[in-house]
Amino acid sequence: MAKSISRYFAPALAKRFSRFFDQEAEFSDLNKKRRLICLIAAAQAAFQPRALSGLIAWALDSRITVDEIYEVLLQGHLFCGYPRAIESFIVLKETLKDPNYLPSRETESIRRQNPNSLKLRGLSLARRIYGGNFDLVFRNIIGLSPELAEGMIAEGYGRIISRGGLDIVSRELAIISGLTVTGMPRQLYSHIRGAINVGAKPRQIEAAVRQCRLFANAAFIRRALRTFEKSLGKRSSAK
């Protein structure tokens, strides 16, 4: 493993990633593809450009498509902000050395949809993710900001998260990774429940959270694990 990882990272980073990927038992519930997708999301949220570039190259050599990586970075702007997303796309473009990498067919398809279609598409997916809690979540967001609530449905779920190019379980696991790194327990709780609603297994979610310790401080990981256990109705054992 160390020899292959050294192709993608400088020596210090390669040692760090090699040691981490040798711990297969701890993360066996995530296949390699989802591990890398989640790590790309975590590296974006932490904004570690060298790690992100290496992970992108490694993902491509592991048969993860450019479109899948693009989707992870695109949805990341909803959870870690435009500046990190823009910088992350610069890293992607520089890593690919290809000015024509954009998934144009999917992008053009979304652009042609009118606002009402996007809203309906977003509502359908949001109800699937939030399940019976959707109305409560949406009312809470409206109470904070009606404009934010409208954007959440039409833009967040309608234009971005419902796109093709990446399956919904991988999307939610990537979102969980980003929220773990940025330390957002309220949103993390909702998306852990959402991941379960769309078919993710609790052990996959826990593995996605735990591997974020490559990028997040220990306090954020402990908080995320407490949130994970709370989302399952368990008493927290994280310290």
Structural domain contains residue 123:
yes
What's the pLDDT score for residue 107?
A: 55
- Under the banding of pLDDT at 50, 70 and 90, the label for residue 25 is low
Structure confidence by residue, pLDDT tens digits, 200-209: 999 999 999 9
What's the pLDDT score for residue 28?
A: 80
What's the pLDDT score for residue 234?
A: 65
What is the number of domains present in the chain? 1
Structural domain contains residue 135:
yes
Helix segments in the chain, DSSP class H: 2-5, 11-21, 32-46, 49-61, 66-80, 82-96, 104-111, 115-130, 134-144, 146-151, 168-182, 185-197, 202-210, 218-231
Instruction: Give the pLDDT mean for 85-102.
Output: 91
Position 219 pLDDT exceeds 60: yes
Structural domain contains residue 14:
no
- Under the banding of pLDDT at 50, 70 and 90, the label for residue 112 is low
Structural domain contains residue 58:
no
Structural domain contains residue 136:
yes
Position 108 pLDDT exceeds 60: no
Please choose, from the candidates 32, 62, 229, 183, the residue with its C-alpha nearest in 3D space to the C-alpha of residue 20: 32
Structural domain contains residue 117:
yes
Structural domain contains residue 160:
yes
Structural domain contains residue 125:
yes
- Please provide the average confidence, as pLDDT, over all residues in the chain: 90
What's the pLDDT score for residue 3?
A: 57
What's the pLDDT score for residue 98?
A: 81
Host domain of residue 138: 106-164
